[in-house]
Amino acid sequence: MDDLGLSLREDDLNMTASSRYSATTAQLIEALQEARARTLELVSDLSGEQLMGPRLRIVNPMRWEIGHAAWFQEFWILRHLGGLAPILAQGDGLYDSARVAHDSRWDLPLPSTAETFAYMNQVLDRVCDTSDRRARDPINDYDESYFFHLALFHEQMHAEAITYTRQTLCYPRPRIGLRQTGDRRPPAEAISGDAYIPGGRFILGDSSGPVFVFDNEQQPHEVEVAPFSISKTAVTNRELSNFVEDGGYQRREFWSDEGWRWRRNAAADHPMYWQRESNGRWLRRDFDEWVALEDRVAAIHVNWYEADAYCRWAGRRLPTEAEWEMAASCEPSSDGGSITNNKRRYPWGNNSPTPANANLDWRAMGCIEVDALPEGDSAFGCRQMIGNAWEWSSTAFDAYPGFMPGPYKEYSAPWFGDHKVLRGGCWATRSSLIRNAYRNYYTPDRRDVWAGFRTCSV
Ligand SMILES: [Fe+2]
Q: How far is the CA of 394 from the centre of ligand 1 (A)?
A: 26
> How does pLDDT run across 311-329, given as a tens digit for each residue?
999 999 999 999 999 999 9
Ligand 1 centroid vs 354 CA: distance in angstroms?
27
Look at residue 350 and give its three-state secondary structure: coil
Q: For residue range 236-253, what is the model confidence (pLDDT) as tens digits?
A: 999 999 999 999 999 999
> What residues does the ion ligand 1 have nearby, CB within 5 Å?
97
Of the listed ranges 14-18, 91-95, 151-155, 383-387, the least confidently predicted one is 14-18
Distance 69 CA to ligand 1 centre (A): 6
Rounded alpha-carbon distances, angstroms, from residue 297 to 5, 244, 269, 442: 29, 16, 21, 23
CA 154–ligand 1 middle distance (angstroms):
6
As a whole number of angstroms, the distance between CA 441 and CA 220 comes to: 18
CA of 447 from ligand 1 middle (Å) equals: 20
Span of 7-11, 172-176, 335-339, 425-429 with lowest mean pLDDT: 7-11
Per DSSP, the three-state class of 221 is strand
Residue 3 Cα to ligand 1 midpoint, Å, equals 27
Residue 186 has pLDDT above 90, yes or no: no
Alpha helices in 129-210 (DSSP H): 144-168
In the structure, what pLDDT confidence band is assigned to residue 145 with cuts at 50, 70 and 90?
A: confident
Closest CA to 200 of 49, 337, 356: 337
User: Contact 42/177 with Cβ under 8 angstroms?
Assistant: no
| Percent of the chain clearing pLDDT 90 (strictly above) | 81
Report CA torsion sign: 260, 264, 270, 274.
negative
- What's the CA-to-centroid distance between 455 and ligand 1, angstroms? 31
Sequence-ordered list of residues with C-beta below 8 angstroms from that of 118, at least 6 positions apart, any chain: none
Backbone angles phi, psi at 181, to 5 degrees: -95, 75
CA–CA distances in Å: residue 171 to residues 43, 146, 166, 292, 446: 11, 35, 5, 19, 19
Q: Among residues 406, 419, 10, which one has the least CA distance to residue 216?
A: 406
Residue 98 CA, ligand 1 centroid: distance in Å: 9
pLDDT of residue 105 exceeding 80 = yes
pLDDT at 137 over 70: no
CA of 68 to the centre of ligand 1 (A): 7
